[in-house]
Structure formats: structure tokens, C-alpha cells
């Protein structure tokens, strides 16, 4: 398997999930500064021009939600997804919220050109990022009251996804000091050996 990623991006969640398993994989780093994600060679793998992309023996998977689910379900001994349907739904609720709402709010900081053409529109979108991220993380802070993981006592792929979005918060103008449960979750993640290995790979 090959995982295409760029450091600090959402693809790092898939890197962490792979590091939680014993599966052999090759991490392939894209250089965003050189816009490698937009070059024909990568677009042949993922025409969306985004990371992650995971090459499996059955074909390419894109979208963090799908990549994480594939990693969890194809490595059941790693115990990265609950067997109970309600808990699995709660895990998917988190992943879905992160991908469809929180990540999109974050992208408004520097990717405003996806939605508008005027500098003033981009400035407006950038200005809303801290407040929008704080709104989302206010809810996540409450959810983490039970802990230690986002759905309770079981660590899942949703925690890897959440960790990467947490790592964007300070840059988005949200101080972790205002979110003690989120900060504790972030620190708990930093102590996992899979996270340490993923951080080493990203360099
Ligand atoms: N919905 C996708 C979003 C993937 C995505 O937007 N990745 C960003 C990095 S965080 C990217 O590759 N951006 C490249 C670009 O916009 O050129 C997912 O959840 O995997």
C-alpha cells in the first residue's frame, strides 16, 4: 500500500491510523510548496488534487472518512472501530462532522479562492475562521467531558482525525487554553506510539 500525504494536512490522520496497525505501507510525501498535488502525475492517482490518497491492491481510495474506515476494517486486530452499531455510528458522526463542517471552516482561512473571486470576500472568510472553529470546538469540548476518547472509552479512527484538526487550532486563532478537554485529548494523542511514529515520518 502507498499513502500519499503532505505534512500537517488531514492526510496525517490516515498516516496515524496506518501506524496503529502492523500493515506494511509506503508513505509518499507530496510537496505542496511545489504544488505537486496539482501535477498530472498525482492527478492520475487522485483527480481531486487533494490528500490523502491510499493505493490498495484493489484500487485507489480518497477522502479521509473512506481511507480511515478502510484501514480500520481491513485491520480488525488493531481495534480501531467499535463493533457495536451505536458506537460505530457515534464514531462516524464525529468523522462526518470533522470532514464536512470543521475542515471546511478551517479551509476558509487560506482557500477562499474555492468559493469566491474577490480579495475582499477572501478577507471576510479568513476573518470568520477563529469564531467558526471555536463554535465547532465548543461542541467537541463538551463531547470530550466523558472521555478519554471522543466516543468515550474506546480509541478509534475518529481520534486520529480529531487530533489533526486540533493541531490546526492555534494557527486558526483558537487557543487550546480555552478548551481544557480538547487540550487533554491532544496531549493524550501525543503520547501514543503511533502518533510519535507518524510525526517522525512527517519529519
Ligand atoms: N474531504 C477531503 C479533503 C481533503 C483535503 O482538502 N486535503 C487538503 C489538505 S488538508 C489538500 O489536499 N489540499 C490541497 C489543495 O487544496 O491544493 C478529506 O477529508 O480527505
Secondary structure (DSSP) of 149-187:
BTTBSS--HHHHHHHHHHHTTGGGT--GGG-HHHHHHHH
pLDDT single digits (tens) 115-166: 999 999 999 999 999 999 999 999 999 999 999 999 999 999 999 999 999 9
Among candidates 141, 154, 136, 149, which has minimal Cα distance to 180? 141
CATH 1.20.1050.10 domain extents, the chain:
85-192
- The atom of ligand 1 lying closest to the CA of 50 is 12
Q: Which three cell numbers stand for residue 5?
A: 500525504
Cα 143 to chain centroid distance, Å, stands at 18
Class of domain 85-192: mainly alpha
pLDDT single digits (tens) 67-122: 999 999 999 999 999 999 999 999 999 999 999 999 999 999 999 999 999 999 99
Q: Where are the alpha helices (DSSP H) in 38-156?
A: 40-43, 64-74, 85-97, 103-107, 119-143
Stated pTM of the model: 0.98
Q: Compute, in angstroms, the gap from residue 146 CA to the centroid of ligand 1.
A: 30
Q: In whole angstroms, give the CA distance from residue 69 to residue 88.
A: 11
59-62 vs 26-29, strand pairing mode: unpaired
Q: Which three cell numbers stand for residue 63?
A: 477522502
Give the DSSP H/E element, type plus range, for residue 9.
Answer: none
Q: Compute, in angstroms, the gap from residue 100 CA to the centroid of ligand 1.
A: 11
Provide CB contacts within 8 A for 118, sequence distance 6+. none
Q: In whole angstroms, give the CA distance from residue 16 to residue 46.
A: 20
Q: In whole angstroms, give the CA distance from residue 187 to residue 181.
A: 10
Give the DSSP H/E element, type plus range, for residue 26.
Answer: strand 26-29
- The atom of ligand 1 lying closest to the CA of 99 is 19
Q: Which three cell numbers stand for residue 85?
A: 452499531
* Cβ 3 under 6 angstroms from ligand 1: no
pLDDT single digits (tens) 6-33: 999 999 999 999 999 999 999 999 999 9
CATH 3.40.30.10 domain extents, the chain:
2-78+198-202
Asked if residue 141 lies in contact with residue 182, where contact means CB atoms within 8 angstroms, the answer is: yes
Provide CB contacts within 8 A for 162, sequence distance 6+. 94, 98, 140, 150, 185
Handedness of CA 14, 51, 200, 143 (dihedral sign): negative
Probe residue for ligand 1, chosen from 9, 36, 50 as the CB with the greatest number of ligand atoms within 8 Å: 50
CATH numeric code, 2-78+198-202:
3.40.30.10
Amino acid at each position: 500500500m502507498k499513502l500519499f500525504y503532505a505534512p500537517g494536512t488531514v492526510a496525517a490522520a490516515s498516516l496515524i491510523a496506518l501506524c496503529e496497525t502492523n500493515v506494511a505501507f509506503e508513505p509518499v510525501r507530496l510537496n505542496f510548496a511545489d504544488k505537486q498535488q496539482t501535477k498530472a502525475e498525482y492527478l492520475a492517482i487522485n483527480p481531486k488534487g487533494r490528500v490523502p490518497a491510499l493505493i490498495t491492491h484493489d484500487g485507489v481510495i480518497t477522502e479521509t472518512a473512506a481511507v480511515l474506515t478502510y484501514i480500520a476494517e481491513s485491520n480488525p486486530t488493531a481495534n480501531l472501530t467499535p463493533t457495536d452499531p451505536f458506537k460505530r455510528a457515534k464514531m462516524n458522526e464525529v468523522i462526518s462532522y470533522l470532514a464536512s463542517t470543521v475542515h471546511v471552516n478551517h479551509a476558509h482561512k487560506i482557500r477562499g479562492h474555492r468559493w469566491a473571486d474577490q480579495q475582499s470576500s477572501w478577507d471576510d472568510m479568513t476573518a470568520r475562521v477563529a469564531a467558526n472553529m471555536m463554535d465547532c470546538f465548543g461542541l467537541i469540548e463538551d463531547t470530550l467531558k466523558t472521555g478519554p476518547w471522543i466516543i468515550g472509552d474506546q480509541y478509534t479512527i475518529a481520534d486520529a482525525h480529531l487530533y489533526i484538526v486540533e493541531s490546526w487550532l492555534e494557527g486558526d486563532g483558537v487557543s487550546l487554553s480555552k478548551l481544557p478537554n480538547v487540550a487533554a485529548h491532544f496531549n493524550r494523542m501525543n503520547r501514543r506510539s503511533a502518533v510519535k511514529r507518524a510525526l517522525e515520518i512527517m519529519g
